[in-house]
Amino acid sequence: MSPRIFGIFLIISVLDQLYLVDGTNGMEESPSSDLNMESKCSAYYYLESTIKELKRKLDFYEHQLQIKDEHNKENVKQMETIYKLQSQLAINSKEKEMSATINDLKNRLVSAEQQLKFKDDLIKEKVKEIHDCDLIKTKDKQILELDEKVNFMTVTISNLRNQLTKSRDDVKVQIKDINDRTEEVKRRDDIIKLKEKEISDKSEQIKNMEGKISVKHNQLEILIAQILTKNNEIDRLNNQTKHDLEKITEMADKITVKDNQLENLSEKIKHDLETITEIPDELFMCRGVEDCPIGRPNGIYKINKPGIPIFEAPCNSTGWMTILRRQDESVDFNRNWANYTNGFGYLNREFFIGLEKLHQMTKDKPHELFIRLRFFNRGSAHAHYDYFQIGSEQTFYKLKSLGTFSGTARDSLRYHEGMKFSTFDSDNDNYIFNCAEKLRGAWWYDDCSDCCLTGSRREGHFHWNRIDCEFAEMLIKPRSV
Ligand SMILES: [Ca+2]
């Protein structure tokens, strides 16, 4: 049953129900009319709600119907497509059948063409056979002629074959010879290769040797250059030695002269001593002398100078007084100002006479100064100054003058001329620090020293012209003229 028909059926059954409820059909009033009215109303309400429900269901079924219609349309479309495809399929299968038929026809055509060609060939063959029949006679004749020619050619070929056999033997001999020669050439090739390898090795060795020779050559050049330099140096030293030898010879001559002078002097002294023997030794010993006496034996003498107390000093027979001696480090010379002012040490060993005595002795009477020096492994030397003078304590016992220099040592004391005396406790030098402290001895320092006869021998400060001394003596004597 369709939904629409079902809906109509429902409405009819409801109306029928209503009619059954109102059976009087409005014509007669019963005593229970109020009760009927009430049941009519309730039936009416029921009917109204039923109609509403039916409407809703009707709408639903109509909606469903629409959807189904659409599905049906879609199905129809699909069916149409299927029909189209089926018809297309049928066409395709027909095309295939046609194609197979065409192929079959093509094959048949090829077969027919082959048969046709075969027939053609047969016909051509038959035509040729007919044509050959006419030529056979002509050909026979030609064949006879050719046979003769062939016989002649056979003989010729036989001759040629014999020649060829002979030639082949010759060739074989030649080939053998060639093979032998080839072998020989190969053998020689091998020898040549060996020789080439040897040559290559030798070349390599020669290259190496050349490299080594080049290095040696460079070394040789360097050595030659060094030898040249050394030769120049030797020449220079030879010249220097020659010059030194000349100087030494000159000095030796001078020494000989001096020796002669000394000999004369000692003769003179001997004579003088003989003349003054009348003066008794005791007189010297008791009263003392103003200066070292000349012609008296060497020894310690009392010196009696105005202005200072009597003191002792070593004198020699020629009137020289020793004022300083360094010989064996038995006395410490690193002393203060007071010690140097008054003097210190032992007169027969190491000592210093004292600055005040030197000032008093030299202030009024010009004196000479003689310095004896002995160096470590470098022989001896002396220095002589002809005007030695020392200032007063107010001038810090300044080395006032030295006079003219002579001697075999260098004029090193000149550097100190005019300088004040300095000790470790009285710095009067021109050095930023204290020279006496630095050299561990007192001296007439400037910016330290060119010579210093009081410096520490152990520390290398006892020197003359910066050459270390082993022994030193300073002697003075009043100037003879
Ligand atoms: Ca200073």
Nearest CA among 464, 430, 431, 427 for reference residue 442: 427
Domain count, the chain: 1
Residue numbers of the domain that contains 425: 280-478
pLDDT of residue 300: 95
Q: From ligand 1's centre to the CA of 285, what distance in Å?
A: 44
Nearest CA among 362, 341, 371, 368 for reference residue 353: 341
Q: From ligand 1's centre to the CA of 427, what distance in Å?
A: 5
Q: pTM for this structure?
A: 0.45
Q: From ligand 1's centre to the CA of 393, what distance in Å?
A: 18
How many whole angstroms separate alpha carbon 188 and alpha carbon 197?
14
Q: Which residues surround ligand 1, an ion (CB under 5 A)?
A: 427, 429, 431
pLDDT values of the chain reduced to their tens digit, one per residue, 481 residues: 454 544 445 554 544 454 444 443 433 334 455 556 777 667 777 777 877 887 888 888 788 888 788 887 887 787 787 678 777 777 677 777 877 876 887 888 788 788 878 877 886 886 676 566 566 577 668 768 877 886 887 787 688 788 877 878 887 888 788 788 889 879 888 877 988 888 788 888 878 888 887 888 888 888 878 878 888 887 888 888 888 888 878 888 887 788 888 888 878 867 776 665 555 565 656 678 999 999 999 999 999 988 889 999 999 999 999 999 999 999 999 999 999 999 999 999 999 999 999 999 999 899 999 999 999 988 999 999 999 999 999 999 999 999 999 999 999 999 999 999 999 999 999 999 999 999 999 999 999 999 999 999 999 999 999 999 999 999 999 998 6
Q: 10 in a domain, yes or no? A: no
Q: From ligand 1's centre to the CA of 368, what distance in Å?
A: 29
CA dihedral in degrees (12, 15, 20, 26; nearest 10)?
Answer: -140
Q: 302 in a domain, yes or no? A: yes
Q: From ligand 1's centre to the CA of 385, what distance in Å?
A: 27
Q: From ligand 1's centre to the CA of 367, what distance in Å?
A: 29
How many whole angstroms separate alpha carbon 305 and alpha carbon 299?
18
Q: From ligand 1's centre to the CA of 423, what distance in Å?
A: 10
Q: From ligand 1's centre to the CA of 460, what distance in Å?
A: 20
What phi, psi does 473 have (nearest 5°)?
Answer: -140, 135
Q: 450 in a domain, yes or no? A: yes
H or E element: which one contains 322?
Answer: strand 321-326
Q: 436 in a domain, yes or no? A: yes
Can you read off the two tokens belonging to residue 69?
């219609």
Can you read off the two tokens belonging to residue 29?
């009033």
H or E element: which one contains 470?
Answer: strand 467-478
Q: From ligand 1's centre to the CA of 424, what distance in Å?
A: 10
How many whole angstroms separate alpha carbon 238 and alpha carbon 241?
5
pLDDT of residue 18: 46
Q: Which residues pair with 367 in a beta bridge?
A: 388, 478
CATH number at residue 359: 3.90.215.10
Q: What's the sign of the alpha-carbon dihedral 294, 406, 462, 343?
A: positive
Can you read off the two tokens belonging to residue 187?
């053998």
Q: 315 in a domain, yes or no? A: yes
